[in-house]
Structure 1
Amino acid sequence: MLLQDLAFGGTQRQALELAARLDRSRFAPEFWMLTDVRDFAPKAELAGIPLVWLSPYPKVGVLGLAALWKRLAAERPDILMPLTAVPNIWGRVFGRLRGITAVIGTCRGGGAIKRQHERFLKGLAAHHIVNAEPLAKALVKMGRPQDKITCIANGVDTDHFLPPPDELRPVREVVLCPARFCEDKDHETLIRGFEYTVARRPRAELWLMGDGPLRTRVRTLAARSPVRGNIRTFPPAADPRPFFQQASAVVLSSVREGLPNVILEAMSMGIPVAATAVGGIPDVVEPERTGLLCPPRNPQALGENLARVLGDEALRRSFGETARQRAVERFSMETMVRRHEAVFERVLERGCEESGRCPEPRRGE
C-alpha cells in the first residue's frame, strides 16, 4: 500500500484497519510512504505492519519519487495499491513502467477523480476500488469498464466506537466537525451556518477538529465570526472518541465527498449527523431516521438542521439509536476486509494469467 504519509486522516485510518485485519496466511501487507509524517506510525507498528519511509521530508519531492522507482525494481510487490492523489498518480505510472500488472487504483474522495487525473491514468490500473457509488459511476462515464471497478464501503469498528453510557452522555450542546481543513469540506459554509444555529440555540458550541492546507483560513473565519465565542478549534487526534462522547451532533458541510469515515464513526457511537447530500453521504445517512441532510453551500439549511437536532432530545436519541443499528448491520470492518481480499485475489490471478508470472509462496504457506 503506497501512501503519501501516515498523518491523521480518514484514508490513512482505513488503510491501517484494512492492513491490520488482512489474512496473514495469504497476504503480507506493507506501507510505503512518500513523505515522513508519522502520526499513525505507532499504531501501524503495533499491528505488525512493516513501514518504509521513502523520504525524510514532510512533502513529496524528487527524493521520495526516486526512492519509489528504485524500490519497485528491488522489491517488485505482487500487488501495488496506491491511496490518495499523489500516490495514485506516480504509483500507477512507475508501477506500470516496472512491469507490475496488479496495480489497483483507488478513488476515495469526491475530488479524487479530477486530482488523480483519472481521465488520463485510469487505464494504468488493473482494477479500481472506490468507496462510494457516485465515484464508480463517474469512472464508468469516462470509459472505465464496469467489471474493472469495485465499490467497497468504508468499515467502522463498532466494538471500538461504542455509544457512551447514559451517565456520560453530553450535557452541553456541542456540534463536532472532525474534518480536514481543505476546500472539499467547505468550513466557510459551516461557520456561516452556525450563526443560524446560535440564533435559535444560544448555548450551542461548534468544535472544529482537524488540520490541513486551509488551517489558517478556517481559524481566521472562526475568529471573525459574530459567534466566535461559541467556536473552538482542536488539532486532529489519534483517538477521536473523547470528542465524539461530548458531541450532541456531528456535522459535515462538504461540497465533495466519497464516504466519510467520521460519519460512520459518529453513527457507531449513536450520534445523529447533520450533513450535506453529496457523494456517498446519502447512501449512509438516512434523512429523518439517522440524521438530516441539506444541499451543499446552503448555510441557512445546515444551521437550521443543527438547531433542530440540538433542540429535541427525543429526536437525538431516536436518530442515534437507529444510526448505531445501521452501522452495525451494514458497515462492519469484517465485510470491508473480506471484500478487499476478494479483489486482491482476483486481480492477482488475472495478472498471473496475463504476464505468466505468479508470486512465490511465502514462508509458512
Structure 2
Amino acid sequence: MAEPSRPARVVFLLQDLFFGGTQRQALELAARLDRDRFAPEFWMLAGGRDFAPHAARAGIPLTWLCAAPKVTTASLRALWKKLETERPDLLVPLTAVPNIWGRVFGRLRRLPAVVGTCRGGGAIKRQHERWLKNTVAHHIVNAAPLKDALVRLGRPEDKVACIPNGVDTEYFAPPPEEMRPVREVVLCPARYCEDKDHETLLTAFERTVAERPRAELWLVGDGPLRTRVRTLAARSPVRGAIRTYPAAPDPRPFFQQASVVVLSSVREGLPNVILEAMSMGIPVAATAVGGIPDAVEPERTGLLCPPRNPEALGANMARLLADEDLRRQYGENARARVLEQFSMEAMVRRHEAVFTQVLAQAAG
C-alpha cells in the first residue's frame, strides 16, 4: 500500500481508449477520484486513442504498452515487464482481456492489491471467472445479476460490490424546449457486437415503420460487426429510413435529435447509454436483460421486452413514437430517477470506499 505521505497509485488496465462505455466510465471515475488519496493512471494493452485528449485534460497519466490495434503477445510481454518495474498499489483491470492477464500477471508478480471488474452481460464467461474469481482481493460489478452470478460460483458475497454506473447529470441534461426533436428518430448508440443484437433491432424497425411511416433509425457506433450490421441495414426493406454514424466523443447531439433511445441487447451489464438517455429526458425501449430492468421502470420511464423478440420491440418503439405526451412523461420520470439513483458522485464515493478497504487489507 502507498505510504501515508503519498496517495495510492491506482492503475486502471484497459484494452484501449477507443470510444466505448467502459472507457468513458473509467475516465469519469478516474477524473473524480480524491487526488489526496488516489493517484490514478491508465495503462492500455493496445492502440486506440479516442479518449486520450479527455484523459489528458483530466490530468491522468497514460501509458500504451503496445501500439498495435489489438492485444498481441508483445502487449502481454510489455505488461509483464511493466509490472516488474512499476508496481502499482492497486491494479484495476477493465474488460475481459485485461481482467484475465492483469489478474494472472498480478498474482505471479505478487502485487499487493488487485480489484477485478465485471461490467458486461458476458463478462463472467469471457473472463473465466469460474477459474479466476479468487485471484483478486475484491470484485466490482455494475449490475445485480453479475453479483448473483459470482456468488453462485462461490465468491463470498462480502467480496463483491455492486456499484451501478454513474452519469454526469449536468453534462447530460435535457435540451431546451425549443431544441426538442420534431422528427421521429429512434436512436441506437451501441457498439457493433454480438451482445447488442442489431439484427433483431433492424427486423423490429420494419414493424415500427409499418405503424409509423415517418420513423427513422439512427445507428451510432463502431465495433467488430460494423460491416455486417451496415450491410444488413443497406439490404433492409426500410433502408431509406436507416442512417449509420461512427461513434463520437460527445453523444449529446445525437440524443438531442432522438424521440426514443433503443437497445436490443441479448446480454448487458448496466449500459451507460441508457443512463445518459434517461438523464437527458428521453424514454427508452429496450430488452429486459442484465441491469437494464434496474434502471428502466416499465410503463414509467420506458418500455421493456424479452430479447430476440422483434415484434415486441418494434411495437414498443411504435407506441412511444405515436404518443408525445407519453414520451414527455416518461422522459421526466427518467430524468428524476437518474438524479435520485445514478449520480456520478455516488458512483465515485463507492469506488473510493472499496479501494480504501482493499488497500487497508493489503497493508495489514
Bin the TM-score by the shorter chain: over 0.9
Equivalenced residue count is: 353
**TM-fit CA distance, 1:166:** 0.8
Aligned to 1:357: none
Aligned residue for 2:5? none
Residue matched to 2:257: 246
Alpha carbons 1:22, 1:341 under 8 Å: kept: yes
AA in 1 matched with 2:245: F
Match of 2:99 among 79, 85, 88: 88
For residue 225 of structure 2, the aligned residue among 214, 231, 238 is 214
Cα drift, residue 249 of structure 1: 0.4
Question: What is the letter of the counterpart of residue 112 of structure 1?
Answer: A
Report the Cα offset of residue 63 of structure 1. Answer: 1.1
Q: What is the match of residue 168 of structure 2?
A: 157
For structure 1, the residue ranges without an aligned partner over 5 or more in a row are 354-365
Superposed displacement of residue 64, structure 1: 1.1
Deviation of the 1:101 alpha carbon: 3.0
CA shift for structure 1 position 61: 0.6
In 2, Cα distance between equivalents of 1:257 and 1:329? 22
2:279 is aligned to: 268
Aligned mates of 2:114, 2:38 — CA distance in 1: 15
* 1:20-48 per-position Cα deviation (integer Å, ceiling 9, x unaligned): 00000000000000011100000000000
Given residue 141 of structure 2, which amino acid in structure 1 is its aligned partner? V
One-letter amino acid matched to 1:121? L
Residue identity in the other structure for 2:295: V
Deviation readout 1:219-269 (Å, 9 max, x if unpaired)? 111011111111010000000000000000000000000000000000000
Equivalent of residue 54 in structure 1, options 41, 55, 65? 65
1:133 corresponds to 2:144: yes
Unaligned segments of structure 2, at least 5 residues: 1-11
- 1:180-195 correspondence to structure 2 within 5 Å: 180-195=191-206
Which amino acid in 2 is paired with 1:45? Answer: A
**How far 1:56 moved relative to its partner?**
1.4
Aligned AA (1:307)? A
* 4+ aligned runs moved over 3 Å, structure 1: none
Aligned AA (1:18) = L
- TM-score, normalization: structure 1? 0.96
- The CA distance in 1 between the partners of 2:80 and 2:169, in whole Å, is 39
User: Percent of aligned pairs with the same residue?
Assistant: 78
Which of 305, 308, 329 aligns to 2:340? It is 329
Q: Secondary structure at the match of 1:16?
A: helix
CA distance in structure 1 between the aligned counterparts of 2:160 and 2:362, rounded to whole angstroms = 16
CA distance in 2, matches of 1:236, 1:117: 29
1:349 aligns with 2:360: yes
For 2:339 and 2:153, the matched residues in 1 are separated by: 34
Distance 2:56 2:360 in 1: 30
Contact 1:105 1:127 in 2 (8 A): yes
Tell me whether 1:279 sits opposite 2:290 in the alignment: yes
Equivalent residues in 2 for 1:119-130 (5 A)?
119-130=130-141
The answer to whether the 8 Å contact 1:155/1:331 transfers is yes
Structure 2 length-normalised TM: 0.97
Does the 8 A contact of 1:101 with 1:126 survive in 2?
Answer: no
Whether 1:316 aligns to 2:316 is: no
